[in-house]
Each structure stands twice: as structure tokens, then as C-alpha cells.
Structure 1
Amino acid sequence: MRLLFFWTLCGVVALSASAQDINNLGHQSWSTENGLPQNSVHQIFQSSDGYIWIATEDGIARFDGIDFKIFNHENVPAFTSSDTCCIVEDAHGALWIGTSDGLVQYAKNAFRHYPLTDVVVSLAIGDDGDLVVLSGNGLLRFDGKNLSPLALPSSATPIALAKAADGGLWIASTAGVFEYRHGDFRSVPLPGIAAGSIEAMGSLPGGIWIRTTSHITLIQSGHLRTLEAGHDLPVTRIQSVLADSRGDLWIGTNQGLFVLDLRDGNNSPQRQSALSTSSILSTFEDREGNLWVGTETSGLDILRRQNFRTVPELSDRVITAIVQTSDGAMWAGTNGDGLDRWQGGKLQHYSVHNGLLSEIILALAPGADGSIWVGTPDGLNHIEAGKVTAYTSADGLPDDLIRSLLVGGDGSLWIGTRRGLAHWADQRFTVFTQANGLKSNLIGALLQPRASDSSHDLSHDLSHNLWIGTLNGLSRLHDGSISTYTTKDGLSGDVITSLSEGQHGTLWIGTKGDGLSSYANGVFTSLHRSDLPQTIDSILKDDHGNLWLSSIHGITRLSAASLVACGASPECNPRPISYGRSDGMPTEEASATGHPAAWKTIEGQLWFATRKGVAIADPDHLSENHIPPPVVIERFMLDDMELPLSATEQSIPPGHNSFAFQYAGLSYAAPAKVRYRYMLEGFDKQWTQAGSRRIAYYTNLPARHYRFHVQAANNDGVWNETGASLRFYVKPPFYRRLWFLLLVVLGIAAIVVLLYRLRLRRLHQQFQAVLAERNRVAREIHDTLAQSFVGVSVQLELTAQLLAHSQIDAAGQQIDRTREYVRDGLAEARRSIWDLRAATAQHTLPTRLTRLAERSSTENLPIQLNIGGTYRPVAAALEDEILRIAQETLSNVARHANASRVAIDLRYHSNRLTLTIADNGRGFDATDNSLTAKGHFGLQGMRERAMQIHAQLVIESAPGQGTTVKLEAPIPAQKGTATNG
């Protein structure tokens, strides 16, 4: 008793749960054909991040519910042997894998090998966090740095290793069982159990189980029970044991899997039929309560609790309509296979051989005292006490094709046909058609509510109202008067397919292609939502306030109150839950052929007609998954190149266009129903609803910081709001980096400064050009018009003197010379203004200089001209400037020198010409710089002209010694011009 009390104290507290129905477990299997590395599964383990790990004889596999990723000797050098036995995770999140050639550690996406001299048998983590290894040579302890031997007391040989519920370790040996805690061993006596035969042990709610090859001993809450192979189990060898969280003990044997309900101490183990007689090596329960099974030759299996079950006897029928009669029997009409009655596990069949008008059943309605009304394409049948009575159009029906049936509160029968609505009461038919106010004679669903109508537009009891679904709206029959409502009144659609009564007088209306509508307080409301079926074949309300909607895409459950609160708003989520084949339905395609296609039984169970039998749900015992699925990012691909995953921000060089993120929600209850949403922060403004898609693509991302965030929801719509994230930074190209932008700014600034300075230079040059032009014009006026005017003035003074002395002829000659001066002055002015320069031989520098000398020569001032060298044509501008300098010099001689002789020498050289003008006048001080201030600009103009043609001007003079002006001007070389001197 003290031993039993000890096991009670160190056991775990039992979890209250409903009994496991082993006949309602979904089964799925995987083998090497599905990606498993090898079919002998020695252990199944779930790591803290949510992955399922499978140890096989050809490496380990990581499973996310859809795909396997294999690690073995072929792709991971750390696996010197691919034969693995066991997996365990330490407190730091590192995985330890036992192989036939030592240990392999998996941490931070890297593998490391620790060699041992013998095969690893089992692994466990002690309460101090150290790894304990059971190998063929005994126990070893790894403290994070080194492996060291761990010796049992009395030199016992360890056989098995297991973790206790309180964190300690149990070690079975040839000398008995020891408890290892805080680095110390303590012997645990087990009377009646041969110590050397123990192969494994584990925790039970309130106790412990001990397994040998042929026995299982259960010590629980002071009770001891032993199960023996060949006696309690029809097998020869027991190979694995698992106590799950629901209070069931799963026993793997060499001939299949068995389950024992630990809450009942007298029951016997039951075989799990899905695994047949497979040899079971390992069992495991994940965090969602799914049972994983590893077999010896068939691979990996999973058993999941399902919310739907079927009736095997009806699995080959296309069910059209289903009802329950008052005697509790379930009736199912079929499409061509007659009518079936199911009760107490027995099936009774009705067909045309029993008197039915047709094998095709379109409508059913329960009658009084266990009877039933049956609608077919060929008329109406009534089955009572096994007797079949038929009614056709010959008896008053408007049409033989019966589409729907309803027994009213007064026991009368309403019949929907293609040609109107019939009412069977007092042994006669009354017909309602379009002539009576119906908008369509094609009648579908019928409903007569049982609650009172609180709407202000109807003061009568709803039981006096008959709601009629048609192809052209919803009609209501009240006291013989028919009213019809359509989309104009608020319905989401006019083709009515199903009707159901809700709480507080609410009417739920299903349509074809337009979703759901409701009627409450006299108002129709459209509830057309994208997250609900668009064509609703049937509507049922359970006792928990939920609506169940069937369609060809499965069955949807949601809270009626949440739906009313959300209405048609897409921003509000009423959290609908969809059911399909993974939930136990024989097919997702619910039947839409007859009425009613779904039924709520007296016991509260919901029966749905499908094309492969019936689907039955028990709303009181639904398996709901409230665990948010862990989310992992499995791959980060850049232009089809996979990048390593990192917890820190990754830098992406520029020039990449395609970004892909592969992720997974690690829920194994229904992996195909896991839903995802993701957002790339820095790019997306809202969540992208990805459905079941497990990869996201982005292209041409601008350079900036990003955070990819993904969330997942399990099969019951529970979201993991934390999700998984990955940060990365797309670097900008060089032309978008700061240093380059600064260089560009500096470059632009330099260009602006340069352009500004060029502009200033240009403006300065323009100013200098204008100033030079003004000076040139001044010189032109001084040297042409002014000189001409001076000459004219002198001639006129001479003419006046001659006239005063009555020398008429001489005066006339002076007047003629004056006219010639005027003409020459005008010509020079025009030439200066229009810049009419000629390069002909008649207007060369020698010719023009000769004419100037002749014009300036007088009797009192004779001018001698000497021209030497070989003539060379020069630019007209150059000749003009030389001529103006000569003209200014001769003018100065005539006006100021008081000379009696002037000599002009023009001489051409190979690359220059020289002009020398010498007089014997009174001369002046050539060093006097005040002449300009005194109004004498002639010399200044001569120097400016010399500068214009890059010539050298030398003026030699002194008072009383005459004046010599020397000009030496370069002659630019011209193509084809002689250069001899």
C-alpha cells in the first residue's frame, strides 16, 4: 500500500475528458511513397517550435503536416549513421538524436556529431537539465560540455529509461527500478515484477505503467492491474504504450493497436480497426491531442478525432431527404435506391416492391404515430405500420412530382409541387397557385414556425403562417391570403432553397447563389457574405445557438448571434467553421435534391444528407481545437536562391527582383484547413488573406527596411496572432546611397557655380565687347567724320581767305577739294557703319594708304610714301586698324606738329608688316600721361587700335625734335600664302 501511495503522489493529475470513441477517428498514413525516408518508425517527437520529428532507420524527418524534410548521412555529414532510435529536446531548444554511431545535436539550424563507442538506446532530459543517454555500455550524462559515465548503484546494468511526470527519471535495470533526481539514485521496489524483464515504463494519471515483452502492469490510484499478451490482448508481443490526455491507454503490439479506457477498470482493450494488424513500434500524442503511430513496415499514421460520423449501411446511397419520425426511427430517401428506415443499428428498406410509387425519393415528412409521408416524382405515399398508401394527381394533387412536404401543427399536410401548393386536410386536397397570389407555382422549402411573431406588422401567431420558398421569392400564407417578398423587400435573392426557424421569432432563409437572409421584427436583412456558402441547401439550429449551413462545398457552423451582430459587414468576422472530409464527412458534397436535406433529432444530433450516405454531428460533443498553430518561416528565397534564416535583420544587396517566403502553420488536426494571412511591413498597408497558400511572392521591392509577418489559423479558426516574422533590409544601389547623393549634390553645386561663373564671364565679355565697340565707334568717329570735318573746316577757312582776297578761281578749287573731303568722309562713315570692307586690289592697304597720303598732302606739308616688301593680303579688320592709326598720325601732324615734311614707310615682311610715319615738326613729350585728361584722345585711340590687332606701337618724340610713330603688326599665316621676306 505504501508503494501504491508513492505512485499516487508522484503521478500526474487526471485530465477530465469525454471518452474516446475509437470508432470515430479519422486515419491518415504516410510511407516512403509520400516522402518518409524509411518505413520503420522508432520514435515520434514534437519539438517546442511545433514540428513533428520522426526517427527511422534511414535518418530523421521533420514534418509540417504537408511535407517531409529528411536529414541523414546523404545530406548531413554529422550523421555518420542514418539508423536513428530516439529524439529529445533540452531546455535550450537543442534537439538530440540517438543513432547507432553516437549522438547528433541539432541547434541553430546546424548539426554536430558526438561519437560514442556503442549504440544509443534511449534519451531523456533530467530535472537538472542534463542529457542522460542509455547506450549498450550503460548510462552517460552530458552536462553541456562533456559526456561522462553515470553508474547505477550495485553495479546494475540499465535496461530502460523514462521521464517521470514530475521531471525526474526512472531507470529500469537488472537490479530493479531506480529514481534519478538531483544527481542521486534511489531504489524503487516493485513487488511481483521481474526487474530484468522491464522494457519500458511511463506515467499514468495518478500512477505508472510498466511494460515487458508480454505484460503491461498498471499501478493507478491504489489499484494494480496486469494485461497479458495472448490472454487480455490477442497478440504475442507488446511493443509500445502511451497514456493520452483523455484518459485512454494506447497499446502497440506486433498485431495492431489497442486502446483501453482507464476510467473504467473493468473494460477490455479494443482493437483500433484503422491500423489492422500492423506491427506498432511507437505511439505519440501531440499538443492538439492527435495520436501518432509509428509502424515497423508501413510508415507513419495519425488518428484524429472527428466531429462527424456516418452510418456504414447507407454509405453507398445518394441521400436526398432525411427525417426522424415520432418513434425515433431515422428515414433516408435516396436517388434511385428507394427509402431506408434505420433504428437501433438495423436497416429496413422500402422500394416499389413494397408499394412505393418510385425508387426516387424527393421529399419526406414525419406523420403521426411513427408514420411517414413520402414524396416521389410519381406521386405521394403514406407509410403507416408498414402499409403504403399512394396519392396522385388523379386524387386531386396539382402535379405528381412532389418537391417538398410539411406536416402542420394541426396534423394536416402541405405538399409542394411544380404546379402549385396543395393542402391535404379532411381527406381532400386544396390547391394554391399563382391565381391565388403565388409568384411562382414551383414550390420548394416549406416552414411553419412554432414561436410567436413579435413583429408589429403581424399580430397573429406565427403558427398560423406558412412560409413558402419559390423560384420567385418567399411567400407567406396567412388566413388564406398570400403575400410574397423579394429582393425589393430586403432578401438577398429570389430563389429560395431552405428555411429554418431561429430564436425569438427569427426566420433564416437560404437562397441559391445569393447567400443567407434573415427575417426578424417584420424586417428582411440580407446577410450575403463571402465567408459563407452562396448556395445554401439546408439550415439547422442546434441547442447552443449555432447555425449549421450545408452546401455542395461542405457544412459551415457559426454563431447566430455573431452573424446577426456582424450582418453583411466584411470587416466583422463571425468566425464560421467549415467541415469536410477531414472532419469525418463521407463527402463534402451535401445533397440538394430533396427536402428536408438535414434534420435535428430528438437527441440533439444533426443529420445531413450527402451523395455518399449521411453525415452525423453531435453538437454536445464537438472536438474543438483551441490551440493556436505555431507558425514558422521555412524558406526565404531571393531570385530562386535560398538564403539562410536568421533571427537578426539580413542585408540584401541591390539588383534582386524576386522575393519568396515559404511558411507553415504547424497544426496537424486538419493541415489542409489551416489558413494564412501575411503582411510585408514597409510595403503592404493591410493583411493579405492567403487562404491555404503557403508561399508569398514579392517583386521589385524598393530599398528600405522590411518585416515579413505571417499568421495562421487552425481548422476551427483560432488565429496565432503572434505568428512568425523575418526582418531584412534591401540595400539601395550605389546611385541611391548617401555618399553618391552627396557627390551628386556637390557636383550639381559645382556645375551651378561653374555656370554662374561662366555666365559672369560671358556678361563681362559682353560688357567688354560693348565697351570695345563704343571705343571703336568713338575712334571711327574721331578718325573718319571728325578728321573729315577738320579737313572741311580747314578748306572752308582757306576758301574764306581766298574769297576775302577776291581769288575766285582758287576759292573754287578749294570748294571742289572740300566737296571731295566731304565725299571721302561720307564714304568712310558708311564703311565704318556698315563695315563694308573689300579685299580687292583696288582697296588694299597700300592703295588706301596711298590715297590717304595724297589726300593729306598739301603744299606746306608734302608727304612722301614708300612701300616695300612683297604684298601679302591680310584681314580687312587688320588693314582698317592700321589705316586708322596712320590717319590719326597724319591728322595729329597736320593739326599739332607744324611740320614741313612727313615720310611714310609701309613694309611687308614674311610674318609681319611695319608702318613708320616720321615728321620734322615741333614734337612733344611722349612720356606725358595727362594728354587724355586734357581732351586729347588721339594717342589713346592709336594704342587701343594697336592692342586690338596685337601690334606693337612705339611713339618717339621730344619737343623740337619731331615725332616718329612705329607700328609693327603680325601677319597671320594663311593657307597658300607666300612667306618669302
Structure 2
Amino acid sequence: TYQGGLFRVVNGRLRRILDNIRIPKPPLVTQMIADTDGSVVFKRGGEYGRIDADGKVSSVVASPDLMEKLEADLARLAAGGRAVDGTTAKPVLRDRTGRVWTAGASGGVTVAGEGETPVPVELPQRGQAYAVNELMEDSEGNVWIASPVNGLVRVRHARVDVLDINEGQNERAVWALTEDHEGTWWIANRRGGLSIWTPNESRYLQISSSRSAAAIFEDKSSRMWVASRDGSVFLYENGVFQPQFVKTQVPSKVRSITQDTKGVLWFGGSQGLASWSGKEVRRFGKNDGVPESDLTVVQPFPGDKIITGGSSGRVLLGNSRGFETIGAPETLNHSWISGILPISAKETWVSTLGSGLHLWDGKKWFSFDTDDGLPDSRLTCVLDDKRGYVWLGSLGGIIRAERAQLLARAKDSNARVQWLRLDHTDGLPSRECIGGYQPAGWRAKDGMLWFPTGSGIARVRPGFVEINKVAPPVYLQSVRANGVLHPDREGPVTTEPGRARLEFRFVGLSYSAPEKITYRARLAGLDDSWRELGTQRVAAFEAVPPGKYTFEVMAVNGDGLRSPSLAKISVLIRPHFWETAWFYALVGALVLFIAVGSGWVAARMRMKRRIHALKIRNAREGERSRIARDLHDDLGASLTEISILAALAAEDAEQSPLQPSLDQLSVKAKHVVGSLDEIVWAVNPREDTLRSLVDYIAAFAREFLDIARIPLRTDVVRDVPELPMATAQRHGVFLAAREALNNIVKHSGATEVHLQISLTEQALGIRIADNGCGFEPDYAAGGNGLGNLKLRMQEAGGDCRIETFRPQGTTVFLSLPLPAPSKPVS
């Protein structure tokens, strides 16, 4: 209510009603109730009115029923801790924990638990008394104060305690801190020196010439070691800082100090790694497995080892015998190692300044970054609260995560990690924690966690951090497709044909920390996984192809609690006609028709070519058959007749001088008859088969060697198939076999010949062996006859191989690959 009127939210805007009062001091609206018909009944002064759903105002008579409802409302307010006198609401509130919030008569608010003294609530003053008109608690436990001067103020329960200059610190900005065995805090300040602090007193110690401390460490003998930023190392004894290692440059420029189980002190810094046993200083270099020259953290590790990390992202593990690299710089994205927390040999947490949190399980590394929901990847330290959580200092606040959830996430990328981030809304004095010096965070003996910041020390009690368990609802605000606003937020959203640019705006509601709400969104049908949007409240998708989609978004509050339900809207991007299913089907049918038609035409053309080739082949074979028949019937008969007549004439003229000529004529005639028979066989198309070739070679060998009176042993395969062969191929193989037999008769002096013809599925093999004199192997390369053998077989598509040794005879191998049997055409 305001100046006798009311404000109503309409379409996201405040609209004033009851503005027709013209008197200087109109009475205030002191009570409102919702009626059963959806209207609102209000009381202003001594009058009553009604506001319907459309915002129309009308007067109402104070009926007994209305008065009963108003009295019941006053009783409800009183039961909730609100004292009401019927005219103005007294600003008193009892919250859900039982504490009473009261507005003072002269301004301000106090709060007190049962039996406690009221404590003033620190409110942002603006130059005058803090008048309060109303107090109210929301569903998340926040208290809201309505002030006519200062507006609306939200009061949250602080989850971070601050130790600042008002409580004894010498300087607000803190570099590093640690707690000694007596519970005294040693705090390194930005301006130099150390603040020694206890709850009862605070004092300042100057190191030397106002040098700032870069590292603080208490050893097992309760001695305090301090490394200054200029490179010196000091030991605090008898109330004085004594410089150490003044006669050596090792250790120097130290950033971190620790001690192993044997009492050896380890120093890491920009000059590398060094150790001090109490008697001897040793520097570790590349020969010791320490290639890193700029170390930032050194910590003890289980098994009497030391683990250290550097500014390049390298992590080393070892002891005085040497070190090994367990984390290469590229594994940790070359990021500054800001903290190392060894829980066990199989669980070591490493924080980095830029690439988030890393886990080493003794064998492998696992990373947790912003893609895994980490609120900020710029981490300054990592602490264990001994309650199952790891706490991280960061440049964006203090972060908490449950170890069990992190370990589950390392095994399963679908496992969820609930992150908690504390910032200025939770009482953090500044946005960022300070890192780069050690210790950059500390767990106190009482379990409280301490974090150095630029505005004091932030302290958190892990067991008392209240989680906002109210899940943030999320709502769609607007949808744009190709720049056009679609007012209907219920959907579906339909776009023009073609690819579209979609833009969705949304908001998640949280009273406690709306600025901490992060969002995850996806366009189902396009995205398989969720997009991490951070605090961005808009999601855009470029060039989305036609189709049906559903946009889904969820909100996550600052404590990691997700929305109870998704905000979603369906989107239909219409396709161009050439992108529709029926167009694809039509084109597919057309392509299929063209393919089938083209195939049919091509097959028909091939068939015509084959028929034409068969006709030519048949005509050629017919002509060859006619020639072979004529040669056999006419020329062969005539030559046979000449041979017979010559033989008869030779018998009648035994003492004639023509006897030798007649004998020679008879032999020549028989030779010509044999040659003519070979020619007839070669040109006859009926003999173009594998069986004919095998039979003819075997028959020729028997006849030829009988004339030469050389015994022949044959080993010829039976059941030779009728595989078709080209005429030239068939004739070439025969000529090669004849050449081999002819060489045996002419040159070998053999007394026996062995002819072997074998057949496999892949090749025809012919082996012709004699027991003659043989010849030198070198002669095989130069002889014309032997060269003709190989040439003929190569022209036929086969191969020839000769084996011979003087005087062991000669073996000729002829091989011819056979074509695969053709499948019958269906």
C-alpha cells in the first residue's frame, strides 16, 4: 500500500489503483483478504471495498459474513507472530525458528530468541532513522523489512563470519594464515609483518624491515618458520625472527614449507625444491626428478613421501631418494597449483588457479571444471572439513562439494555434484579469496574453516551452514524465432519454413540469492546433453533445421538445489516443400524409377551387344568349322591319298633310283597330314575346351614319342570339365608342350619321358620330365627354344618353369590359371 492506494502487478509492471482519493492525508489500507470468487476485499479507514479480477474497484457493505472473515484473518496474523490493533499492523514478527523481530519506536529492528536480550539488526542506513512499516518472512527464511523511507530490505542469516580490523587485525588484507599448537593465529598481512591473534588479545610482529610473509609453518618442535617475499627464511625463537641459511642460496624465495615424518623440513618456491635435515641443506634438481623450478605448494603424503606442485601445473611425488612426475602440465591445463589435499594414497585433491579441481586416485587424474557445475574454476586452496566435504577458496567466493558425489562423478559422468557457493550475500567480506601464499586456507582445531580475503578473514562453521532447501521455480519469459517475438509462452511456437534462430528468455525465482541462480538448458531433438549457461538467463540456438523440438530449462539455486520441474515449450520449425517427407519420398521414388529404368536400358543394351557378339562369334565359329571340315575332307583326303600312292610306288620300285625320293615323299606326306590334323584341331571351335586340350596333348605325346621310340609314362587327370577356352590360349599351351617334347627328342638323349597333367580349381598343371643329359641352368636363360616356351606360356596367360642339372635330366613345369566357374544366369 502507498499513500492510501494500492499497487498491483499487471504483466510484470506495477499498476496503481485506488488513486481517486484527492484528500491530503488519505487513510491507509490496513487489511486485505482474498475472497472465494477470486476478488480481493480491503479495509481502508472505516470503509470496505472490493477489487475484482479485472482490477475494478467497488464499495462493499460490512456484512456479518465479511466481518467474520476479517476477524479470522486478524487471528491468523496474530498466531503467526504479527500483533495487530485493527487499524495499523504493528511491525512484530515471529520467524520459523521462534525468534521475535520487533520494529523500534524510533526506527530500526531488533531480534531476540526466547529468553534472550534483543540485539539490533545491522541495516543499511541512508542518513535518517530507519522507520519500519512491515516485517515478513518468506518461504526461504529471509526476513523482509518494508520502510517508507528506505524501501524494501532483505535480511539473510549470515553463513560466513568475518574477522576484520575491528577485532584486532593489523591489516584487513591477508596473504596467509595458520594456527599454532596453542590455538594462536599467525596472520600474514599485505603491508608486511605478522599479526598474532587470539580471541583475547592481538599484537603485531615485524619480520625485518616490514617484509611481507609469503609462507608460515610450525614444525613438530613447535617452532615457527616464516619465509618472506624477498627470499629470506626466518625462524621465530625467543620473541625474535632469526634469519636462516644465510651462507647459502638454498632455500630461497620460498612459497610453501612442510615437514615429513622423519622431521625433515621441505621448502618449495621459485628456486625449486630444497630440504633441511637439521644439519644439511639439499637442493633437488633435474637429476632428482624435479624439472620444475617454480614450486607453489609442498605437502606431506602418505608413505613418508612429499607431494609438490608448481606454477606450470606439474605435480611431483617422491622423497629424499628422488621424485617422479605424476601430473604433467598438460594434464592440469598448465594451471598454477594453488592447493594440494592428500586424503589417502588413492585420493588426492589438487586445486588450480584457472582449471578447477583435480583428483588423483593413485593412477589416473579426473578434472572438475565449470562444465561439471563448478561455480568458479579460479581456486586458491582446498580444505577438508572432516565431515565428508571439500571446501575451496576461489576468486568468486567459498565453494563446497561433497566428496562422495565428486568420487561418484569421477566414475560416472552422469553423476550429479551439488555445489554450494558462499559470497557477499552470505556475509563474505569481499568477492574473492586470496591465494598464491601458503597456507591459503586453514581448518582450525575447533573445526572452523579460515579463508584469507582482501577485506579480512572469512570464517565458516561447516556444521552450521544452513542450506536453502526451497527449490527455485523457473519460468519462460519470452520466445523469439528469427527475431519475431511469440507472445504465447505456452506453445507451441511455429516458425516460417527454413532454418531458424531461436532465442529463449527465462528466469528462476529465489528470494535468498537470485544472483546465484544458474541455469541448464537444452533443445530436445537437437541437443543430446544439457548446456551449462551459468547465470545467463537467455539461450540462443543458431540455424536450427526444420523439425519438432522441445526447449527445456532448469534453475539451480546457490546451494545446488534444482527446480522441482522444468520450464518447457514445444517448437515447430516448418520445412520448405523440398525439405518435407513427401518431397523426399517423391524424389526417392523418382530416383528409384530412373535407376530402374536406366538399369533396364543398360541391361537391354548389354543384351543386344551380347547377342550381336554371339552372332559374330557363331558366324566366326561356323566359318572356322567349315574351313576345318574342308581341310579335313578335301586337303586331308588328298594328302592321305598321296601318301598311300607314294608308299605303293616305293614298294614297286625297290631297286629304282627313285626309291629314296619316294620314301622321302611318303614321310613328308605323313608329316603334312599330321600338321594338317593339328591345324584342324586348332581352328575347330568345337575343340575350344579344357578337356580337348588335355586329351590332345596326351595323344600327341604318345604318338610323337612312339615315332621317336622313347618310352612314355603318363599320369593324366581324369574327369576334366568342359571349361571353355580361347582358341589362342588353347593352341599356345599345346605349342609349349610340343616344344618341350621336341627338345627332349632332339637334345636330351633320354630313354624315358614322364608326362603328368594335374588339375585344381585354380590352375592346370603340366609336368614333362626326362632322364636325359640335362644342361647347365645358365643355358636356360639364353636358348631360343627355351625362351619360346616361356614366351608362349606368357602369351597364353600362364607360366613356365624349368629345372635341370647335368646330367640329371630336365623337368618342365607349365601352369595356366583357370577362370572361376560362371554362375548360371537366372
- What is the CA-CA distance between 1:564 and the residue it aligns to? 2.0
- What is the CA-CA distance between 1:659 and the residue it aligns to? 4.5
Q: Is the 8 A contact 2:89 2:134 kept in 1?
A: no
Q: Is the 8 A contact 1:550 1:590 kept in 2?
A: yes
Q: 1:417 to 1:330 in 2, by over 3 A?
A: same
Q: Which residue of 1 aligns with 2:46?
A: 137
Q: Which residue of 2 aligns with 1:210?
A: 83
| 1:547 aligned onto 2:390 | yes
Q: What one-letter code is carried by the residue in structure 2 that aligns with 1:170?
A: L
Q: Which residue of 1 aligns with 2:813?
A: none
Q: What is the alpha-carbon distance in structure 2 between the residues aligned to residue 440 and residue 704 of structure 1?
A: 55
Task: Choose from 144, 167, 180 the match for 1:325.
Answer: 180
Q: What is the alpha-carbon distance in structure 1 between the residues aligned to residue 451 and residue 333 of structure 2?
A: 24
Task: Write the mapping of 1:261-272 to structure 2, written as runs, cut at 5 A.
Answer: 261-262=112-113, 264-272=114-122
Q: What one-letter code is carried by the residue in structure 1 that aligns with 2:96?
A: S
Q: Which residue of 2 aligns with 1:335?
A: 190
Task: Write the mapping of 1:485-504 to structure 2, written as runs, cut at 5 A.
Answer: 485-487=325-327, 492=332, 496-502=337-343
Q: What is the alpha-carbon distance in structure 1 between the residues aligned to residue 551 and residue 365 of structure 2?
A: 40
| 1:433 aligned onto 2:371 | no
Q: Which residue of 2 aligns with 1:258?
A: 109
Bigger radius of gyration, 1 or 2? 1
Residue 156 of structure 2: SS of its match in structure 1? strand
Residue 565 of structure 2: SS of its match in structure 1? strand
Q: What one-letter code is carried by the residue in structure 1 that aligns with 2:367?
A: L
Q: Which residue of 2 aligns with 1:621?
A: 464
Deviations 1:443-499 (A, max 9, x none): 4322224xxx5xxxxxxxx2x323333457434443x31222244699646764422
Deviates more, 1:616-625 or 1:678-687: 678-687
Q: 1:405 to 1:489 in 2, by over 3 A?
A: closer
Q: Which residue of 2 aligns with 1:59?
A: 7
Q: What one-letter code is carried by the residue in structure 1 that aligns with 2:135?
A: T
Q: Is the 8 A contact 1:517 1:527 kept in 2?
A: yes
> Which stretches in structure 1 are left out of the alignment for 5+ residues?
1-40, 43-54, 63-67, 74-78, 84-98, 102-116, 172-178, 180-200, 215-236, 454-461, 749-981
Q: 1:420 to 1:703 in 2, by over 3 A?
A: closer
Q: Is the 8 A contact 1:139 1:151 kept in 2?
A: no
Deviations 1:275-322 (A, max 9, x none): 573211222222222222221122222222333232121595332211
- What is the CA-CA distance between 1:370 and the residue it aligns to? 6.7
Deviations 1:628-664 (A, max 9, x none): 1111122334565544335464666779965433210
Q: 1:296 to 1:371 in 2, by over 3 A?
A: farther
Deviations 1:194-244 (A, max 9, x none): xxxxxxx5224xxx5535699xxxxxxxxxxxxxxxxxxxxxx99512222
Q: Is the 8 A contact 1:392 1:400 kept in 2?
A: no
| 1:291 aligned onto 2:143 | yes
Residue 561 of structure 1: SS of its match in structure 2? helix
Q: Which residue of 1 aligns with 2:96?
A: 245
Task: Write the mapping of 1:862-941 to structure 2, written as runs, cut at 5 A.
Answer: none
Q: 1:702 to 1:413 in 2, by over 3 A?
A: closer
Q: Which residue of 1 aligns with 2:452?
A: 609
Task: Choose from 55, 58, 61 the match for 1:149.
Answer: 61
Task: Choose from 469, 476, 479 the match for 2:309.
Answer: 469
Fraction of identical pairs, as percent: 21
Residue 625 of structure 1: SS of its match in structure 2? coil
| 1:382 aligned onto 2:235 | yes
Residue 566 of structure 2: SS of its match in structure 1? strand
Task: Choose from 52, 61, 73 the match for 1:169.
Answer: 73
Q: Is the 8 A contact 1:140 1:150 kept in 2?
A: no
Q: 1:516 to 1:273 in 2, by over 3 A?
A: closer
- What is the CA-CA distance between 1:674 and the residue it aligns to? 1.1
Task: Write the mapping of 1:268-283 to structure 2, written as runs, cut at 5 A.
Answer: 268-275=118-125, 277-283=129-135
Residue 672 of structure 1: SS of its match in structure 2? helix
Q: 1:524 to 1:596 in 2, by over 3 A?
A: farther
Task: Write the mapping of 1:85-234 to structure 2, written as runs, cut at 5 A.
Answer: 120-125=29-34, 132-138=41-47, 149-151=61-63, 168-170=72-74, 202-204=78-80, 208=81, 210=83
Q: What is the alpha-carbon distance in structure 2 between the residues aligned to residue 713 and residue 405 of structure 1?
A: 40
Task: Write the mapping of 1:249-648 to structure 2, written as runs, cut at 5 A.
Answer: 249-253=100-104, 255-262=106-113, 264-275=114-125, 277-313=129-165, 314=169, 317-344=172-199, 346-352=201-207, 356=208, 358-367=210-219, 372-376=224-228, 377-384=230-237, 387-396=239-248, 398-409=250-261, 413-426=265-278, 428-434=279-285, 436-449=288-301, 453=302, 462=303, 464-470=304-310, 473-478=314-319, 480-487=320-327, 492=332, 496-502=337-343, 506-511=347-352, 513-520=354-361, 522-527=362-367, 529=369, 530-531=371-372, 532=374, 534=377, 536-567=379-410, 570-637=413-480, 642-645=485-488, 647=490
Task: Write the mapping of 1:799-818 to structure 2, written as runs, cut at 5 A.
Answer: none
With normalisation by structure 2, the TM-score equals 0.60
Q: Is the 8 A contact 1:238 1:253 kept in 2?
A: no
Q: Choose between structure 1 and 2 for higher RCO, CA contacts under 8 A separated by at least 6 residues.
A: 1
- What is the CA-CA distance between 1:618 and the residue it aligns to? 1.4
Deviates more, 1:390-399 or 1:291-300: 390-399
Q: Which residue of 2 aligns with 1:766?
A: none
Q: 1:470 to 1:715 in 2, by over 3 A?
A: closer
Q: Is the 8 A contact 2:219 2:225 kept in 1?
A: yes
Q: What one-letter code is carried by the residue in structure 2 that aligns with 1:326?
A: H
Deviations 1:684-721 (A, max 9, x none): 55433322221233566666655433221111221115
Q: 1:664 to 1:470 in 2, by over 3 A?
A: closer
Deviations 1:8-43 (A, max 9, x none): xxxxxxxxxxxxxxxxxxxxxxxxxxxxxxxxx76x
Q: 1:357 to 1:422 in 2, by over 3 A?
A: farther
Q: Is the 8 A contact 2:250 2:283 kept in 1?
A: no
Q: Is the 8 A contact 1:557 1:578 kept in 2?
A: yes
- What is the CA-CA distance between 1:375 and the residue it aligns to? 1.2
Q: 1:245 to 1:482 in 2, by over 3 A?
A: same
- What is the CA-CA distance between 1:405 and the residue it aligns to? 1.7
Q: 1:675 to 1:468 in 2, by over 3 A?
A: closer
Q: What one-letter code is carried by the residue in structure 1 that aligns with 2:79?
A: S
Q: Is the 8 A contact 2:192 2:212 kept in 1?
A: yes
Q: Which residue of 2 aligns with 1:846?
A: none
Q: What is the alpha-carbon distance in structure 1 between the residues aligned to residue 274 and residue 559 of structure 2?
A: 43
Q: What is the alpha-carbon distance in structure 2 between the residues aligned to residue 641 and residue 397 of structure 1?
A: 70
Q: Alpha carbon RMSD of aligned pairs, Å?
A: 4.5
Q: 1:209 to 1:431 in 2, by over 3 A?
A: same
Q: Which residue of 1 aligns with 2:719?
A: none
Q: What one-letter code is carried by the residue in structure 2 that aligns with 1:71?
A: L
Q: What is the alpha-carbon distance in structure 2 between the residues aligned to residue 332 and residue 150 of structure 1?
A: 69
- What is the CA-CA distance between 1:597 and the residue it aligns to? 0.6
> Which stretches in structure 2 are left out of the alignment for 5+ residues?
591-826
Q: Is the 8 A contact 2:338 2:436 kept in 1?
A: no
| 1:715 aligned onto 2:715 | no
- What is the CA-CA distance between 1:590 and the residue it aligns to? 2.4
- What is the CA-CA distance between 1:250 and the residue it aligns to? 1.9
Q: What one-letter code is carried by the residue in structure 2 that aligns with 1:149?
A: V
